[in-house]
Amino acid sequence: MKYWVWLVVFSILVQSNQNAHAQRTYAQKNFCFGFGSNSAKIDFETPVPNFSVIIDSIQGKANQWIIGTPNNKPIDTAYSGNKLIMTDTDSTYKTNDRAAFIIKTNFYFGSDYTSFAQLITGWYWVDTDSLKDYGDIEVSSDGGTEWLSLLSEHNSDHVTWTTKKPVLTGKTKGWEYFECYYGDLRSKVTSRYTPIRVKFTFVSDTAANSGGGLVFDDIHLCEYVSGVFEHSKRTFSSNILPNPAQNQISFSFKEQSNEVLQLKIYNLSGELVKEHQEITSERSTLNVADLPNGIYFYRLFSKDLSDESKGRFLIQR
């Protein structure tokens, strides 16, 4: 039985102009579990070798993004630890500017067959005095030539938000969590085997500003290879409805050997959260009311491991 597992290394690069504050790169590296997956958590606290953050001032007027301890009310605390990345840690954000920081990964969208699953989570706090001051989160797989927004309605059919989609303008009441699966964007990109980059952008208008700006903390990026290839296995088709689900799922499959099957369900951390040992019907239901909102992977297989089907579904209430 042969397994193929992709290993992932992150780098966050920092590029500053002459007016930029001195920067260091902060990240915490860890590895997810199951399905051949890896991840990196960027906490902006502890320098880690071989990690860097690109802070790029696009217009060159002001380098808004700063890693440090916040002292800019109402945003005066990091989500965890003492540091975060912020449009300005000590004063209001700059006017008439467009700046970004970019996380460079060696994730790949890959082919439809490999079923790579990309996930981004994190925490944000926004405090702007105008809806013309706003942020965006984008991904690129061609080295940064073309960017696809995770927030745009044009890409909504290819992006799954398991939380409320962030609104990176106006004012939040403190820290907000976001979680997004964007692997289905592979159908919209022209290059599937160039490393993915994730860009966080903030744009400000010409009016004087008084808000705290936009901040991020504890950004977590993962790649899950949901198709771990086992060439000796026979695969069969299966389906889960409804998808998204709330409290109950119904799954159906076409399995010709009439074998007794087992079902295992994993969360995005690769942890086994539910299993069913004896499945004999080609249509069965399962109560998932005890599982929180999120994306889940399932594995349906015969006891001798000769037959297998895999898929994913979303719980959203």
- Which pairs with CB-CB distance under 8 Å and at least 24 residues apart come from 2-5? 2/229, 2/230, 2/231, 2/232, 3/36, 3/228, 3/229, 3/230, 4/36, 4/225, 4/228, 4/229, 5/36, 5/225, 5/228
Clarify whether residues 190 and 47 are in a common domain: yes
Structural domain harbouring 200: 10-225
Please report the pLDDT score of residue 150 as a whole number.
Answer: 95
Domain stop point among 196, 225, 254: 225
- Name the range with the highest mean pLDDT among 21-25, 27-31, 61-65: 61-65
Report how far apart, in Å, the C-alpha atoms of 115 and of each of 100, 174, 261, 266, 273 are.
29, 36, 23, 16, 21
DSSP type of residue 77? S
Q: What is the DSSP letter of 292?
A: P
Query: How confident is residue 138, by pLDDT bands cut at 50, 70 and 90?
Result: very high
Shared domain check, 97 and 196? yes
- Is residue 219 domain-shared with residue 261, that is, in the same domain? no
For the four alpha carbons of 37, 286, 249 and 279, in that order, the dihedral sign comes to positive
> Looking at the domain assignment, is residue 68 inside a domain?
yes
Q: 260 and 218, same structural domain?
A: no
Q: Is residue 1 part of a domain?
A: no
Computed over every residue of the chain, the mean pLDDT equals 76
Token pair listed for 182:
């964007």
Element (H, E) at 159: none
Same domain as 50, residue 181: yes
275-293 confidence digits (pLDDT tens): 887 777 777 888 999 999 8
Average pLDDT of span 236-264: 81
- Is the pLDDT at 266 greater than 90, yes or no? no
Select from 45, 12, 48, 3 the least CA-distant residue to 30: 48
Which has the closest alpha carbon to 221: 28, 54, 57?
28
Average pLDDT over every residue of 124-144: 92
Whether pLDDT at 1 is above 50: no
For 185-197, the pLDDT digits (tens) are 888 888 877 888 8
In what side-by-side order are the strands of the sheet with 248-253?
A: 238-241, 248-253, 283-287
The SS3 of residue 132 is coil
**Residue 212, SS3 per DSSP:** coil
DSSP 48: -
Q: Hey, what are 20's tokens?
A: 């930029």
Q: How many domains does the chain have?
A: 2
Assess whether 306 and 247 both reside in one domain.
Answer: yes
Q: Are residues 187 and 107 in the same domain?
A: yes
Element (H, E) at 289: none
Q: Do 121 and 263 lie in a common domain?
A: no
Query: Rounded to the nearest 5 degrees, what angle is found at the Cα of 237, between the Cα atoms of 118 and 270?
Result: 35
Structure tokens at 46: 């502890």
Same domain, 37 and 167: yes
Kindly report, residue by residue over 190-223, the tens digit of the pLDDT. Answer: 887 788 889 999 998 888 778 889 999 988 887 7
Domain end, chosen from 177, 207, 225, is at 225
Structural domain includes residue 140: yes
Residues facing residue 216 across a β-bridge: 85, 124
User: What is the DSSP annotation of 238-287?
Assistant: EEEESSSBSSEEEEEE--TT---EEEEEE-TT--EEEEEEEE-SSEEEEE
Maximum distance among all Cα pairs of the chain, rounded to whole angstroms: 70
Closest to 169 in 3D by CA, of 198, 208, 212: 212
- CATH classification at residue 151: 2.60.120.200
**What number of other Cβ atoms are within 10 A of residue 178's Cβ?**
21
Closest among 155, 156, 138 to 147, alpha carbons compared: 138
- Residues 139 and 266 reside in one and the same domain: no
How do residues 32-64 score in pLDDT, each as one tens digit? 333 344 667 788 887 544 445 677 655 445 557
